[in-house]
Amino acid sequence: MLASTAIARTPQRRAIVHRTHGSTHGAITRLVSPGDLGAWLKPFVFLDRFSFQTKAGQPGFGMHPHSGIATLSYLSEGEFFYEDSTGEKGRLLAGGVEWMQAGNGVWHTGSIVPEVSHVRGFQLWVALPAADENALARSQYLTPSQVPQEGPARVLLGRYGAAQSLIAVPAPMNYLAVHLKDGERWTYTPPAGHSVGWLAVDIGQLDAGDAGGPLGEGELAIFEEREEVIDLVARGDTTFVLGSAYKHPHELVLGNYSVHTSAAALARGEAEILHIGRRLREEGRL
pTM (2 d.p.):
0.92
Q: Considering its fold, how many domains does the chain have in total? A: 1
DSSP assigned state of 14: P
Residue 58's identity, in one-letter code, is: Q
Q: Domain containing 30 — which CATH number?
A: 2.60.120.10
Rounded CA-CA distance 111/33 in Å is 23
The whole-number pLDDT of residue 52 equals: 81
Residue 13: the pLDDT is 80
Residue 257 three-state SS: coil
Is 139 within a domain?
yes
Residue 7 inside a domain? The answer is no
pLDDT at position 11, please? 57
Residue 286 lies in a domain: no
- Domain assignment of residue 10, yes or no: no
User: Are the CB atoms for 168 and 190 separated by under 8 Å?
Assistant: no
DSSP 15: P
Nearest to 177, CA basis, from 76, 254, 271? 76
Q: How far apart (Å, rounded) are the C-alpha atoms in residues 191 and 246?
A: 9
pLDDT of residue 6: 40
Residue 8, domain member (yes or no):
no
Residue 255 lies in a domain: yes
* pLDDT at site 27: 86
Q: Which of 99, 58, 59, 55 is nearest to 75 (CA)?
A: 99
| CA 231 to chain CA centroid, nearest Å | 20
CA distance 24 to 101: 26
Query: Structural domain of residue 166, as residue ranges?
Result: 16-280
Low-confidence ranges of the chain (pLDDT < 50): 1-10
Q: Report the pLDDT value the prediction gives residue 209, as an integer from 0 to 100.
A: 74
- The reported pLDDT for the residue numbered 62 is 79
User: Would residue 116 count as lying in a domain?
Assistant: yes
| Residue 50 resides in a domain | yes
**DSSP 3-state assignment of 102?**
coil
